[in-house]
Structure 1
Amino acid sequence: MIDRERLMDQKSPAILWLRQDLRLADNIALEAVSHHLFFAVYIWDDEDPWSPGGASRWWLHKSLLSLHRSFQERGVQLILRKGKPLQVLKHLVQETKACAVYWNRCYEPYVIKRDQEIKSSLKQEGIFCQSFKGSLLTEPWEMQTTTKGAYQVFTPFWNKLKEISFARPLSVPDLQGFKPSVFSESLEEWHFNPTLWGRGLEEIWTPGEQGAWDNLSGFLNDGIQSYASRRDIPSGQYTSRLSPHLHWGEISPTQIWHEALLSCGKDSLPFLRQLGWREFSCHLLFHFPHMPFQNLRVSFSDFPWQDNPDHLKIWQTGQTGYPLVDAGMRELWHTGWMHNRVRMIVASFLVKHLLIPWQQGKEWFWDTLVDADLANNAASWQWVAGSGADAAPYFRIFNPVLQSEKFDPHGLYIKQWVPELQALNSPHIHSPWKASAQILEKAGVTLGKTYPFPLVDHAFARQRALDAFAR
């Protein structure tokens, strides 16, 4: 039973358990805990089967530093602990005589099961527990088809979502920090900074709540009006780049939704549709928890995938001989991010040109993306592979040369990330192997030495994929 007197005792603190909600504004759990003396805790669950990858850990390190400063300015402690969350929370309750624990929900299958067990166990010991919707516009179980089932097609899901009127975002509440000092582990001891790469991350990203708002403000001022017409161009900053801020909860989808509508009304819907895909992905993960591992379409279970570590490594390092594919993979390694159009192209190349299982691509993205999100990552890879609930048709195989000519016509994106081709111009930069020996020599390009020949022939790979899908 819940000890109500203890809950109302202002001398007993409450605990704010932070996860993917590293912000002060529009934080429902923070609003609830602000009625108590409280401290915040971030727990590194080292048994989580989907522990953040290398790039995400770098982001988390920076984001926690930023949040620590924000809490410190308001007299609130942010405690860091590593271990099983239930054990950590029980220890903190015992140490501080805490009366309540509040948190915002996450929706990964492992986390849902774990959180249910935590809530049940703490309540049995008289600790008040409450969780909230803090990272989505709608709960996955709230969106239902006319037959009360789960959506498996995005368009009707989006049509329903965009008609909902969402509550206005919450402002930062007044906070009352728990004064006795609580032991915290050191963030430096967690060794989240990558050793293989990281300089490129530092150059372009500012993790934290203020960084998220700076990104959103810049996009609303300069980018959203032309988003629909320019979002597929990878050579400029025509997208919001809010995805890592969203994943870590440095800004909420509700905040973005309201600010975008306030900025340009219904003209913002092409941009907000991307929030819709994020919601849809989480909806699918909740209803189909095997999505990160298994094909949603059972017919793909016998697909003749090829296990080819050499080809996988060539794709990972951006040495496929297709300039747009290589540019995308190198941008990913340098910055922890990749333009969305290029993500689709490189993913299609892996699963359809090379017939490598989508799960292997998903794992690479998980380790190298600063915005790696279990629902988005799995749903998007299955969309490209054709194995998802609402997937691209199997015969849609991106031609990397045509995609390059269409969306990077002057080769600006390629020249940025594949510098060995900088002296080539269109049309040769899109397919260097078609250029004459004289043009290549003038550009300082020696195929097979300074830049590779194509790993596979597109026409051959396309037909091989179509034959495999047909079988």
Structure 2
Amino acid sequence: MNRSIVLFRLDLRIQDNPAFNAAVNDQILPIYIHDTKSLGDWPLGHNSQQWLDNALSSLNETLNNQLVILEGDTLSIVKTLCEEHQIQNVYWNRCYEPSRIAADKTLKASLKDLGIHAESFNASLLWEPWTILNQQQEPYKVYTPYYRKGCLNSTPPRAVEAIQVEQLEWIDFPQEKSSPKPIAQWDVSEQGAMNVFLNFVAEGLSGYKKQRDFPARPHTSRLSPYLHWGMISPNQIWHHVKGLTGMVPDEDIDHFLSELGWREFSYYQLYHYPSLPTDNWQKTFDRFEWEESPEQLEAWQMGKTGIPIIDAAMRELLNTGYMHNRMRMVVASFLTKNLLIHWHEGEHWFWEHLYDADLASNSASWQWVAGSGFDAAPYFRIFNSLLQSQKFDPEGDYIRQHVPELAQLPTKHLHAPWEAPEAILKEAGIHLGSTYPYPIVDLKTSRKEALERYSQMKDAS
């Protein structure tokens, strides 16, 4: 029987795991390596590390306590293990961050030089970035033709692979196992991922297209952390949802799958433009005059801007490691277009605090809102925080959940407490400037200032 290493990274599951499936007839040594060098300039944030620790603990249980967790340089460790355990094959699933791509090429070449079969697979994308090109054989720059013309007319996503763990043989590697502190409100496991998905399908998929923008309603999947860490595959999601045709409205199926398409487009951008996390894709933004305001930045980070919908979203992030997708766009627009603070600041704050902190999605999304990225929102598109609040949290349920000091305020005044009569504020136990801040910026004035700066930037080009 051959002896094989399966190297886990962002694929912390057993089902529909092509690298693991390639080794099922061998004796297997499943490993995970904490390799900070392979992460380049983006070491894991605190919440990402907490999620990873729990995910590895769960994966180890699924693997009958056979997962080996090591720390150090991946290439050195794998070469040593291959020698010590007479390994013939090393399998892993591809990652698409620039630093990992480079490291994987070196790993594969080094193993082949040693006469070891090294093979990588696609486990995290529906379509790999180099397979989708326009008629000129160049990368798409705009999402809709990328997805509608490119992806949907390409080879369909591969079928899902099932694996029976009970039938596997292991290479013995005794190791002490740790039990990390669980994460409140999240079941960080492969089965937990599937449960979240199936619950969303049952309760949130019908009506998704119209209801997904309301943060207090159950019409978002909350799958982003599981997808990022590979605890469920996009293929599992894609084929299951496709199979609901006729049972769920077509518009909801199409819109949900197109959101998977946006995730794909983020990876596509990062692959074809590796400096996406740091450099404006639209170079005119290199001339934009950003503000440096530590006080306003901290108010945004802590959810103390005096704009209830912004504060609710930022506190949701601080308290849960997650933020509703519509709210991510609203707070990003507020930071970059009302406070005029560089999108890098938001990108780094999200990276540190999101359980789903994903280099591709985080970078692409911040550039999209700022107006500097691929197929970006036009520079003059500035979310009005007050209108967004009134439209998508009309009863104030989301604000009350995350900004409890405003809970007693009548809904009529909840979205803009600075406009409420003093008697109403007093009755609700609110003292502006003390129990809740005044707005740190005027929405209309700051919008006008942003438009002026964008115009100056364009004129300069």
Q: TM-score over 0.5 for the alignment?
A: yes
Alignment match, 1:30: 20
Query: Which of the numbers 228, 240, 252 marks the counterpart of 2:233?
Result: 252
Alignment match, 1:63: 55
Identity of aligned residues (%): 45
Q: Please report how far the alpha carbon of residue 292 of structure 1 lies from its aligned counterpart in structure 2 after TM superposition.
A: 0.3
2:115 pairs with 1:123: no
* Alignment of structure 1 residues 314-463 onto 2, 5 Å: 314-463=299-448
Name the amino acid aligned to 2:293: N
2:125 pairs with 1:144: no
Alignment match, 2:224: 243
Q: Please report how far the alpha carbon of residue 389 of structure 1 lies from its aligned counterpart in structure 2 after TM superposition.
A: 1.2
Query: Which of the numbers 144, 149, 166 marks the counterpart of 2:157?
Result: 166
Give the Cα separation in 2 of the matches to 1:38 and 1:109: 28
SS of the aligned residue for 1:40 comes to: strand
Alignment match, 1:6: none
Give the Cα separation in 1 of the matches to 2:304 and 2:392: 20
Q: Please report how far the alpha carbon of residue 278 of structure 1 lies from its aligned counterpart in structure 2 after TM superposition.
A: 0.4
Give the Cα separation in 2 of the matches to 1:90 and 1:173: 28
Query: Which of the numbers 49, 74, 89 marks the counterpart of 1:85?
Result: 74
CA contact under 8 A between 2:213 and 2:392: conserved in structure 1? yes
* Alignment of structure 1 residues 151-190 onto 2, 5 Å: 151-160=140-149, 161-164=151-154, 165-173=156-164, 175-179=167-171, 181-184=172-175, 186-187=177-178
Give the Cα separation in 2 of the matches to 1:162 and 1:425: 47
Give the Cα separation in 1 of the matches to 2:311 and 2:438: 12
Q: Please report how far the alpha carbon of residue 208 of structure 1 lies from its aligned counterpart in structure 2 after TM superposition.
A: 1.3
Give the Cα separation in 1 of the matches to 2:428 and 2:108: 64
Name the amino acid aligned to 2:122: K
Structure 1 stretches of 5 or more lacking a match?
1-9, 194-200
CA contact under 8 A between 1:28 and 1:132: conserved in structure 2? yes
2:12 pairs with 1:18: no
Alignment match, 1:196: none
1:184-231, Cα deviation, whole Å (9 max, x unpaired): 47546xxx76xxxxxxx8331111110011011111111101111100
Alignment match, 1:218: 199
Structure 2 stretches of 5 or more lacking a match?
457-461
CA contact under 8 A between 2:142 and 2:375: conserved in structure 1? yes
How much is the aligned-residue C-alpha RMSD, in angstroms?
1.4
Alignment match, 1:101: 90
Give the Cα separation in 1 of the matches to 2:451 and 2:294: 22
CA contact under 8 A between 1:27 and 1:170: conserved in structure 2? yes
Name the amino acid aligned to 2:152: K
Give the Cα separation in 2 of the matches to 1:71 and 1:178: 9
Give the Cα separation in 2 of the matches to 1:364 and 1:137: 29
> Are residues 452 and 360 of structure 1, via their aligned partners in 2, closer, same or farther at CA, if it must alter by over 3 Å?
same
> Are residues 187 and 46 of structure 1, via their aligned partners in 2, closer, same or farther at CA, if it must alter by over 3 Å?
farther
Aligned length: 447
* Alignment of structure 1 residues 226-305 onto 2, 5 Å: 226-264=207-245, 266-267=250-251, 268-305=253-290
Give me the TM-score of the superposition, normalised by structure 1.
0.92
Give me the TM-score of the superposition, normalised by structure 2.
0.94
SS of the aligned residue for 2:129 comes to: coil
CA contact under 8 A between 1:17 and 1:40: conserved in structure 2? yes
Give the Cα separation in 2 of the matches to 1:166 and 1:137: 5
CA contact under 8 A between 1:80 and 1:187: conserved in structure 2? no
Give the Cα separation in 2 of the matches to 1:124 and 1:97: 15
Report runs of 4+ in structure 1 exceeding 6 Å deviation.
none
Name the amino acid aligned to 2:263: R
SS of the aligned residue for 1:55 comes to: helix
Alignment match, 2:459: none
Name the amino acid aligned to 1:169: V
SS of the aligned residue for 2:280 comes to: coil
Q: Please report how far the alpha carbon of residue 144 of structure 1 lies from its aligned counterpart in structure 2 after TM superposition.
A: 0.5
1:431-458, Cα deviation, whole Å (9 max, x unpaired): 0000011111111110000000000001
Q: Which moved more, 1:49-58 or 1:391-400?
A: 49-58
Give the Cα separation in 2 of the matches to 1:347 and 1:172: 41
